[in-house]
Structure 1
Amino acid sequence: MPLTEAALLAWGFAFARLAGWTLFDPLLARLPLGGRLMLAAALAAALAPGLATPPVSAQGAALLPMLALEVLWGAGLALGVAVVFTLARLVVLWTGHTATAGLLTLTPQQGDTSDAAWRALAGWLAVLAFLGAGGHLLVVAALRESFAVMPVAGLPAVEDLRRLGESVGWLFATGATLALPLLALALLIQLAFFVLARTTPGLDMFSMGLGLAAVGLLAAWIVAVPVIARGITEGLTQLGFWFAAWTDVR
């Protein structure tokens, strides 16, 4: 691809969208800011030759607002990955809190310290599961398809905004559907601990909580795996329908 003003402009808009994705993607949160921006620049250089030439209106005073819009598009694409990682962290944190019956978390300062190991474990488990399922390839494919669905330096139409709002609402509903049963299970176990503590004052709450939490986590894992697999399959299918619909409209 020859190095022209139009090519540089296309690379700049692609870099803005990819930078918005790298800044908010939880999978890349462990990388320094410079490393994330370098990754965005490399991906933009690889994708820029296949992008449409930005319109003339994308120059001058309208350049900064359109770059900001591209950053927002990239941040929106990172939302889908953030939902999965947030769910994994909540599951592990609720398990740790249930295992101790909430007795080791007295203040927010103590809670941050006691939950640090659980947060680290949840983060690594989420990363391994995401990479093992090929999630990084799906993200790159979604980013590539996003440039065909939403061309750079183009203002979205009303129908596009409506479809985007529906997709964001679907992601939120999926995360809530997966998280609410686990929250209800944790609350029920806490209620059982309260009853046991009132009826049996000398009971070792930590040992009891660790055993119940292990059994509850095993049961939740057996029940949740088919639900999560079905939800991911339906989500990818729905995402393909949205991409196809957007492409037909354009």
Structure 2
Amino acid sequence: MIQLDFGFGALEAEFWRLLFVMTRIGAALVAAPLFGIAGVPPQVRVIGAGALAVLVCAWTPVMAPPVLFSVAGMMAVMGEILVGLALGFALQLSFAAPILAAELVGGSMGMSLATAVDPGSGAQSPALGQYFAVVLSLVFLAHGAHLQWFALIVESYRALPPGQTWLGAERFALIAGFAARMFAVAVTIALPACLILLVVQIVTGVLGRSAPSLNLFSLGLPAGVLGGIAALLVGAPVLTDVVVRLSADAIAQVAELLAP
């Protein structure tokens, strides 16, 4: 076994306890959609993980393994990382639904080439998806859902204490179910706009067949863009309601993951 002892006694034991608690919190922050984006400096995530770890150490009797730098200690750390990533990934799935809906709407509008850099992943994503993601982020923060997520992270130390962090087949099946919900919500967001765009495309197709002299490409693209903008304006109240429900469902998914 490998054990580091710098001779500081109880102070050193509290330091290793704090560092052990920060492992789960730091993994959750890295996997979360708002706190794990590339624009957030790593120092901010470390400070946030340390602040939450202080609260966890004060409110829960969680203890670090007696010998942290050993096989058992490393396995405990890996379990903490697994739980933290699961808590962040369950939240990430909800935030992926608007991006997927934007792929459907943008393709129907003919705006597939209008892309922007996603600050969360650093990859190219539809510009319309950035709009949906910003709306969801604002609603999520305005409703205080991030504070509820922090509370669930603290509660996870009671539901899944160190040493009992293997999620099991049931919880992994729940995460797969969350992915299925993500696709259903994405279809709900994109359905009104896609229906209107389908009507626009049918109309432009009929016009192109009835008047062959019309240039279908020069007529269809502007009509699709205008129809898509009109569909987004008409569906704005529906989008707001869906995003509010999606923000609540994101927290409910994390809570469901911690349920016994």
| TM-score, length of structure 2 as denominator length | 0.71
Give the superposed CA RMSD: 3.5
For 1:198, the aligned partner's letter is G
Q: Distance in 1 between matches of 2:82 and 2:244?
A: 29
The structure 2 residue matched to 1:80, chosen from 65, 71, 90, is 90
Q: Decide whether aligned partners of structure 1 residues 76 and 120 sit closer, same or farther in structure 2, where only a CA change above 3 A counts.
A: same
For 1:43, the aligned partner's letter is L
The structure 2 residue matched to 1:200, chosen from 196, 207, 225, is 207
Q: Can you list the C-alpha shifts for 1:167-224, whole angstroms capped at 9, x where unaligned?
A: 3134223222211334555655554454344332436334422343234335544446
Which residue in the other structure is 2:64 paired with? 54
Instruction: Check the 8 A contact 1:94/1:183 in 2, yes or no.
Output: yes
Aligned residue pairs: how many? 235
User: Which one has a larger percent helix, Structure 1 or Structure 2?
Assistant: 1
Q: Distance in 2 between matches of 1:61 and 1:174?
A: 38
Q: Can you list the C-alpha shifts for 1:33-86, whole angstroms capped at 9, x where unaligned?
A: 232222212221232233322343655222223212211211110123212221
For 1:85, the aligned partner's letter is F
Which residue in the other structure is 1:38 paired with? 47
Which residue in the other structure is 2:121 paired with? none
Q: Can you list the C-alpha shifts for 1:2-50, whole angstroms capped at 9, x where unaligned?
A: 9444423321221111111111111011302232222212221232233
Instruction: Check the 8 A contact 1:22/1:36 in 2, yes or no.
Output: yes
Instruction: Check the 8 A contact 1:25/1:79 in 2, yes or no.
Output: yes
Instruction: Check the 8 A contact 2:65/2:76 in 1, yes or no.
Output: no
Q: Distance in 1 between matches of 2:61 and 2:30?
A: 22
Which residue in the other structure is 2:159 paired with? 149
Instruction: Check the 8 A contact 2:28/2:88 in 1, yes or no.
Output: yes
Which residue in the other structure is 1:90 paired with? 100
Unpaired stretches in structure 1, ≥5 consecutive residues: none
The structure 2 residue matched to 1:168, chosen from 161, 171, 175, is 175
Q: Distance in 2 between matches of 1:39 and 1:217?
A: 37
Q: Is 2:147 aligned against 1:133?
A: no
Q: Can you list the C-alpha shifts for 1:108-131, whole angstroms capped at 9, x where unaligned?
A: xx7558966434433322221110
Q: Is 2:224 aligned against 1:209?
A: yes
Aligned identity (percent) is 21
Aligned-residue offset at 1:228: 6.0
Q: Which has the larger radius of gyration?
A: 2
| TM-score, length of structure 1 as denominator length | 0.74
Q: Distance in 2 between matches of 1:194 and 1:161?
A: 48
